[in-house]
Structure 1
Amino acid sequence: MATKSVSSYVPYQVIEPATPNIQAHLLPYLRSWPWYLLCLSLALTGGYVYLLYKQPIYRIQASLMLQDEKKGNTQTNPLKELDVYTPKKVIENELEVLHSSTLMSRVVETLHLEARYYRNTKYGKREIYSQSPIVVLIEEGNEDLYKKPLEITFLGDKAVSVNGRRIPLNQSVWTPYGKLRLLTRKPVSASTEPLVVEVMPRTAAVNSYLGKLKAEPTSKTSTVVHLTLDDAVPEKGEAVLNQLINEYNLAAVADKNKVASSTMKFINERLRIVQGELASVEKNVESYKANQGITDLSEQSKSFLQTTQQNDAQLNQVKIRLASLNNLEEFISQQADKRGSTPATIGLDDPVLLGQISKLSELELERDQLAQTTPEENPIIQSIDKKIQATKNNIRQNVRTMKSMLTSSREHYVAENQKLEKVIRTIPQQERSLMDKTRQQTIKNDLYTYLLQKREEMAVTFAASIADTRTIDAAESSSGPIKPVPVVIYALFGLVGLLIPTATIAGKTAMNTRVMRRGDVEGITQVPILGEVMSKRQRDVLVVAPNSRSVIAEQIRSIRTNLHIGRNEINDSQVMLFTSSISGEGKSFLAQNLGASLALLRQPTVILEMDLRMPKLHQVFNVDNSVGISNFLNDEASLADILKPIPGYPNYFLIPSGPLPPDPSELLSGPKLKELIQGLRENFRYVIVDAPPIGIVTDAQLIAPYADATLFVVRHGVTPKNCLKILNTLHLEQRFQNLNIILNAVGGSDAYHFNNNYKNSYSYK
């Protein structure tokens, strides 16, 4: 038979394939569903264990109503009109005060929250509060106290063991951790469960609770503040919120009392002076009447006396006001840097001046409250300082104006007194002297009475001072824990359980450079796929045999059938070249089994062991390799000498490679190869050539012109993807006749692209 002419090469540029479809990407994940199920089960189990060992967190809430000057004054106290100064609260500032370190530090100190008490359970440590039989008081702690927990074991009702050191109860004792005192809350004994106590610095404890505390108004128009605290021990959280509200109220009352105390001090000083003056005047009147024997005055004297008394009373009021103005001016000038005190305003009734004094006190208290939580450089404090200075300047100006007016009034009353004195001189000397002394007595007595009244008013105000707040709801914990939420925990752990295999498969896929599925081949090369052979861990050398019904045998028969499609001259011989990209892809296995399948058609078939570098077929068929193809190409043997029958397979022959030549490529390039192929065409229906891989040597390309069809073997998990690009280039350049691909070792849902429907109808061995 005549051989076909060698095809000419057509250069072609490699084109990158399109992106694979979604189904091809999902196949590796769908095939790994057992791993997903296993990871999801382990993750949910981990979530269950986490919930068992994680101590639940409860939410504690309380409500507090504040008096806010922006939203009206709700005070209904009947003694309200007695207040000299009643500060108004801005709710935004009060929220900062409630969240201040100063208040929380008092709470921590009062409740001894530097120490946390734990009890070991089968699910780990669990924090307790009032259930702790002892309280650890830190009188003087050192650094070692905060580094290591204190493991306390009860030795009886008199002593305990702290990290192996015996310490008596209810006594101040120096220990390696500082000076401690362990107080008992309830009777203890050697059978009392051990405790673990963790101690933290005061600042750390304060910051810890401030971090968990939330203070916010219920709405923009409401003065009700909602306090929230999350803690593992509901009872402790309730105690913290209740004590915080109590400390806030005490601080508010202290601010009020500070103002009242300053006014009381001024009144008491004035009373002491007036009381001495009144006693002296009364003694003079008494002595004068006794010495002069005076019992009554005339009606005319009484009239002058009344007039004089009225004028003196008015003059005295002017002097009191001047004294108050001098005190106020001294306070503004000399005590400008002393905050927390308020000047006395006795006798001053000017609403503008009183309003400015009240405004000054409000600004100073507001600044003191902000200074607890805000640094001095803050623009808000600097703005308040400017307002304070401006208010003081306005007060000074008003004081000077009022002093000028009162000085004029005083001079007027003094002049009026001088006129009255001239009239009184006409009265007898005794009566005039008595009138003068009695007048002084009345003036001092009225002043003394006025100061006593004001002192009683301030005393009542001081005693009635209460906080401008009302507790709407005392601290109360939630009925159940808010964290951890089982549904959320299971969802998170389940998500992790799904992400682990997904990430593993995605990472493996991203790092993979081998062909793993049919889509990898179809997406890179245009070479048609002739058939597929499934993967099997243990495969016989020849799986195709008479009466063989295995899946692999049927897949090879399917390839055999596909080889006949499109052939018109069925009596012509056919030369089939088997090759691959690298070694280990199974081309020899497929070549020998396809040859066996063709031989079972009772057609003479021969397989050539054309891999002259690493021959293996002669070992598989247990055939002598002393004489073979290398001898024929060297013109050392005839075709009859190298043709070997395969035992057990009639019509199936093997031509071994023969001794390994030093120059296989040169032998294949000689004229003897053409002679060999032509001789085999005349004697055999099918000629199968097992050639070396094309990615390693050029032997397959030298044999390609003599083959009618080239079968390129691609093995899943072995063939590199970049080799498919080279194969596509060879196909487009037409270097191989009728180039087709056979997929070997196909696994999972990629298996039997042609034969998977058979499995539902037929059974295989």
Structure 2
Amino acid sequence: MNQQPNHSPYQVIEEEETLDLRKLLFKYLRYWPYILVSAIIGVAGAFVLTKYMTSVYKIEATVLISDDKPSLGADLFDGGNLFAPKNNIENEIGILKSFSLAEEAIGSLDINVSYYEDDLFKKRQVYGNIPVYVQVDWTHPQMVGGQWKIEVLDNKSFNLSLEKDDFALFNPQDPFYKTKLDQLNFQEGTYQFGQMIEGEHFKFQIDNTSSYHGETIFITLIDTPTLALSYKEKIDVTPFNKQASLLALSLETPLRRLGQDYLNKLMEVYLERELKIKNQASENTVRFIDQQLSGITDSLTFFENRLQKYRSENRIFNLSKEGTIIFERLEALERERGEAELRIKYYQTLQTYLSNEQLNDLVAPSVIGIQDPLLNSLVINLAELQSERVRLSANFSDQTPAVREVKSKIQSTRQALLENVNSALSNNENLMAQLNQRVRNVERDINALPETERNLLGIQRQFTINENIYVYLLQKRAESEITKASNIPNNTILDYARAGNIPVAPKRTLNLLVGFILGFVIPIVIIVGRNFLKVKVEDPEELEHTLKVPLISMIGRSSYSDKKVVLTKPRSMVTESFRNLRADMAYLLPNHKGSLTLSFTSAISGEGKTFTAFNTASVYSLIGKKTIILGLDLRKPRIADDFGLTNDVGMSTVLSSATDWRTVVKPSGFPYCDILLAGPTPPNPAELLMQPKFAQVMKEIQQEYDVVIMDCPPVGLVSETKELFQYADINLFVFRQNYSHKNAVQVINDLKTKGGIKKLYAVFNDVYIVNSYGDYGNYGYGYGYGNGKSYGYHEEEEKKPWYKSLLSKAKD
């Protein structure tokens, strides 16, 4: 064995990893047919999907929210923040998107039955011009959510069956909770149009409007709470901007007419609700006046009859001059006392309402003639705050900040109003006491009149009092009715619902773009995932970066079935790879004298170390070097099978007996190349190779041959290979593309760092790299020049079509 120099022309250089965009691009461009086909499929799929998707239209409407003018006296409470702006935009948005408003609108539209017709790939919903009309008795339990199938037999009868049986049971006694129906008590059959179809869980009637023989219609029953919840989620209400009090309502639906009808009805219900709340004060006033009139009417009738009877019986129709003066004085006092009494009754009623928190029944004091600006403002604002609380409570919980704020304002205003009412009631009671005293003073003057005239005056006095109050109440009642009739909502519909001409979905351009991107990205993701999950060595540059020893040669994939490719195809590109390996040996051992010994090993069996060893020996024999191949894999010899020899004698025979090694050497059939086979498998191969006789045999072989090629066992499987490295000038570790495991790199790295093996190098075998053009890649001489054309330097190997190359690559 020759001494090895300590230096080597091949050094492993630690480099900072950088991203090679060109390499990365070429790496994925090799799969361009797959990516192209996938992108085309993605675009085609998106086109078909878009064509048959249901078009969705956007329905839009506009509502103008008007701010109320502040009531008289409201500015007195601005500092206490008792009165917020009457129309808060956020509150109005919440009301328009509320469940209760949606429920009321749906109840007015009669859209609880959805009608469908068969289309090319799906069922298409129809609205408006429906062939049949279904009347549902929603006071009866109903099967909702599933689908019924109606097959028209003639203009009088039809066949009814179940199309989809995923029904739930709607119970009108508990409308917000539905149970799933596992057993359907319905029997398919023939029914008459106009006949009531009734069962335990259904009750409806189907009428014929414009259906024809053979037509098929599908219907789905949907309860109002479910529909209301669905539309509540679909509708979008947004302000135009922060300064404007305009709200834009929008809804996306495949049925333009249905969307328009719903939005218009929703706005109408919204305004009706506002008007109803606004009319509540007038209705409370009329109710209060009617309660007062019920007692006054009876008294007025009684005293009117009594007055007529007294005049008739006593033949006295007019008072004397003195009596008339006294009566006028008394009438004025009684009128004033009657108004005071009415005010006291109003204050007492108001006091009761406030104490019992009957805030919905409040009556404004101005409607009964009480001209107190502060009191009037307090009552009106409290009524409006109560209405606001009712509206908010229908959409938000009591813990919502807006509801809590309104409740706080109601309590503050109620307390202020109650204190004001108590004070006003006390003042009016004092006024009543004063009026009573003045009336008693006048009554003393009445006693001076004759008895007949005195009695007439008393009866006429009672009649006049009741008449004045009656007339006064009738006047106020008429004023309240006029006010109620003249009320209009503060808010108005600016733009009624209208649908756009162009569907907002599906978006054809976007879908095609998404289809293209998905078609483009999915194969790349699959390729990246496949590469990430691959445990086999594939990329030469990746292998070179992970190795701690130099990668000195790459042997291309041979397309020939004969493994003796160097000897049988001397002008092939694979042969040129082995010539390069031979040339590298001169650089690895620049001052080497005498015999050259090379060892070949790998991590596992099947990586091509025998193929590499024999063809390396062959390139030396071609230049007249006397070369021998030693089969040292005593456990699993392969050389004899690969080259058609009989493995009857060999190295195991020499080491286990007194046989001279020269007698077991076999010719390869080619000049300058001999083979010493492994021989029959011994029971102790490791011990045989480590005995002194093997060292003596190796010494003799190296003296007689110019080049000694050692075909060693896989170092990752057996232990004796490490002992064989000491006999070689250069140790070559063979990797095979798409066959060697990546953890084999750690095996050779450990040999270098922990095992202290000198002159250890890597060879990459069976390398097949396709560039962006589908030709052999640019690594080493064995892969052609440029685009892979030989220009006469090498024999032309059979080229596979690009699709076959990719298929073979995919199999690897």
**Normalised by the size of structure 2, how large is the TM-score?**
0.82
- Secondary structure of the residue aligned to 1:554 is helix
Q: Give the counterpart of 1:145 among 143, 146, 149.
A: 143
User: Hey, what does 2:724 align to over in structure 1?
Assistant: 703
**Cα shift at 1:211:** 1.0
Is 1:174 paired with 2:172? no
Residues 330-479 of structure 1 correspond to what in structure 2 (within 5 A)?
Answer: 330-333=352-355, 336-337=357-358, 339=360, 342=363, 346-376=368-398, 381=403, 384-385=406-407, 387-423=409-445, 435-479=457-501
Is 1:45 paired with 2:68? no
**Cα shift at 1:190:** 0.9
> Which letter does structure 1 place at the counterpart of 2:212?
S
Q: Give the counterpart of 2:762 among 738, 741, 756.
A: 741
Is 1:607 paired with 2:607? no
In the TM superposition, what whole-angstrom CA distance separates every residue of 1:611-663 from its partner, at most 9, and x where no partner exists? 2222222233333433332333345433442232222x222222222333333
In 1, distance between residues paired with 2:317 and 2:3?
Answer: 166
User: Hey, what does 1:483 align to over in structure 2?
Assistant: 505
Is 1:221 paired with 2:247? no
In 2, distance between residues paired with 1:582 and 1:195?
Answer: 70
Q: Give the counterpart of 1:655 among 676, 685, 688.
A: 676
In the TM superposition, what whole-angstrom CA distance separates every residue of 1:429-478 from its partner, at most 9, and x where no partner exists? 55555555555554444333322322221222232333332111111122
Distance 1:639 1:142, change over 3 A: farther
In 1, distance between residues paired with 2:240 and 2:685?
Answer: 92
User: Hey, what does 1:753 align to over in structure 2?
Assistant: 779
- Secondary structure of the residue aligned to 2:537 is coil
- Aligned 8 A contact 2:117 2:123 in 1: yes
In the TM superposition, what whole-angstrom CA distance separates every residue of 1:341-400 from its partner, at most 9, and x where no partner exists? 647752322222222222332233222222322345656556655554554444443333
In 1, distance between residues paired with 2:298 and 2:485?
Answer: 28
User: Hey, what does 2:712 align to over in structure 1?
Assistant: 691
User: Hey, what does 1:531 align to over in structure 2?
Assistant: 553
- Aligned 8 A contact 1:543 1:553 in 2: yes
- Aligned 8 A contact 2:95 2:395 in 1: yes
User: Hey, what does 2:801 align to over in structure 1?
Assistant: none
User: Hey, what does 2:688 align to over in structure 1?
Assistant: 667
**Cα shift at 1:238:** 1.1
- Aligned 8 A contact 1:62 1:473 in 2: yes
Identity %: 26
- Aligned 8 A contact 2:62 2:493 in 1: yes
> Which letter does structure 2 place at the counterpart of 1:61?
E
> Which letter does structure 1 place at the counterpart of 2:206?
L
**Cα shift at 1:679:** 3.5
Distance 1:126 1:428, change over 3 A: same
User: Hey, what does 1:619 align to over in structure 2?
Assistant: 641
> Which letter does structure 2 place at the counterpart of 1:689?
M
Distance 1:339 1:303, change over 3 A: closer
> Which letter does structure 1 place at the counterpart of 2:134?
V
User: Hey, what does 1:119 align to over in structure 2?
Assistant: 117
- Aligned 8 A contact 1:112 1:137 in 2: no
> Which letter does structure 2 place at the counterpart of 1:247?
V
Deviates more, 1:38-47 or 1:210-219: 38-47
- Aligned 8 A contact 1:6 1:706 in 2: no
- Secondary structure of the residue aligned to 1:742 is strand
**Cα shift at 1:149:** 1.2
Residues 8-27 of structure 1 correspond to what in structure 2 (within 5 A)?
Answer: 21=19
User: Hey, what does 1:105 align to over in structure 2?
Assistant: 103
- Secondary structure of the residue aligned to 2:288 is helix
- Secondary structure of the residue aligned to 2:337 is helix
Q: Name stretches of at least 5 consecutive residues in structure 2 with no aligned partner.
A: 7-11, 72-84, 162-187, 772-776, 798-812
> Which letter does structure 2 place at the counterpart of 1:119?
E
In the TM superposition, what whole-angstrom CA distance separates every residue of 1:135-191 from its partner, at most 9, and x where no partner exists? 33321588882363111211222222221422322343214651112234x322214
Deviates more, 1:418-427 or 1:129-138: 418-427
- Secondary structure of the residue aligned to 1:721 is coil
In 1, distance between residues paired with 2:463 and 2:648?
Answer: 154
**Cα shift at 1:583:** 0.8
In 2, distance between residues paired with 1:232 and 1:341?
Answer: 47
- Aligned 8 A contact 1:596 1:652 in 2: yes
In 2, distance between residues paired with 1:537 and 1:342?
Answer: 104
User: Hey, what does 1:717 align to over in structure 2?
Assistant: 738
Distance 1:674 1:431, change over 3 A: closer
Is 1:189 paired with 2:188? no
- Secondary structure of the residue aligned to 2:368 is coil
In 2, distance between residues paired with 1:273 and 1:189?
Answer: 67
Is 1:36 paired with 2:70? no
Q: Give the counterpart of 1:250 among 268, 272, 275.
A: 272
- Aligned 8 A contact 1:107 1:247 in 2: yes
Residues 564-583 of structure 1 correspond to what in structure 2 (within 5 A)?
Answer: 564-565=586-587, 572-583=594-605
- Secondary structure of the residue aligned to 2:495 is strand
**Normalised by the size of structure 1, how large is the TM-score?**
0.87
User: Hey, what does 1:676 align to over in structure 2?
Assistant: 697
In 2, distance between residues paired with 1:168 and 1:141?
Answer: 23
In 1, distance between residues paired with 2:571 and 2:131?
Answer: 81
> Which letter does structure 2 place at the counterpart of 1:159?
S
Deviates more, 1:251-260 or 1:375-384: 375-384
- Aligned 8 A contact 1:67 1:88 in 2: no
In 1, distance between residues paired with 2:626 and 2:342?
Answer: 142
- Aligned 8 A contact 1:31 1:748 in 2: no
User: Hey, what does 1:261 align to over in structure 2?
Assistant: 283
**Cα shift at 1:517:** 1.5
- Secondary structure of the residue aligned to 1:611 is coil
- Aligned 8 A contact 1:57 1:232 in 2: yes
Deviates more, 1:508-517 or 1:342-351: 342-351
In 2, distance between residues paired with 1:346 and 1:610?
Answer: 123
- Secondary structure of the residue aligned to 2:232 is helix
